[in-house]
Amino acid sequence: MEKRWLTAVAFTGLMTMSGMALAEQSDTRVMITPELYSFSVMHDGEPVEVMRNQDKSNRVHELYATTWRGVPQPMYPFAPHAVDTIGEREFVEYMMQAQSDDAVMIVDTRTVGWHVRLTIPGAQSYPYTMMDDPDDRDWALDDFGIKRNEDGVYDFGGAKTLAMFCNGYWCGQTPAMIRKLLALGYPAEKLKYYRGGMQAWTSLGFSVVGEGVETP
pLDDT tens sequence across 46-74? 999 999 999 999 999 999 999 999 999 99
Radius of gyration of the chain, Cα coordinates, nearest whole angstrom:
23
Query: Per-residue pLDDT for 21 more than 70?
Result: no
* Residue 210 within any structural domain of the chain: no
For residue 48, the number of C-alpha atoms closer than 13 Å in the C-beta half-sphere is 22
Same domain, 99 and 11: no
Q: What is the CATH number of the domain that holds 169?
A: 3.40.250.10
Same domain, 136 and 68: yes
pLDDT grade for 5, boundaries at 50, 70 and 90: very low
Query: Per-residue pLDDT for 197 more than 50?
Result: yes
Secondary structure element (H or E) that encloses residue 106, with its range: strand 104-108
Q: What are phi and psi of 120, to 5 degrees?
A: -85, 135
Q: The whole model's pTM is what?
A: 0.86
What is the model's pLDDT at position 46? 96
Query: Per-residue pLDDT for 142 more than 70?
Result: yes
Same domain, 14 and 111: no
Same domain, 12 and 114: no
Query: Per-residue pLDDT for 216 more than 60?
Result: no
Same domain, 71 and 23: no
Strand partners, 49: 40
Domain that holds residue 89: 38-203
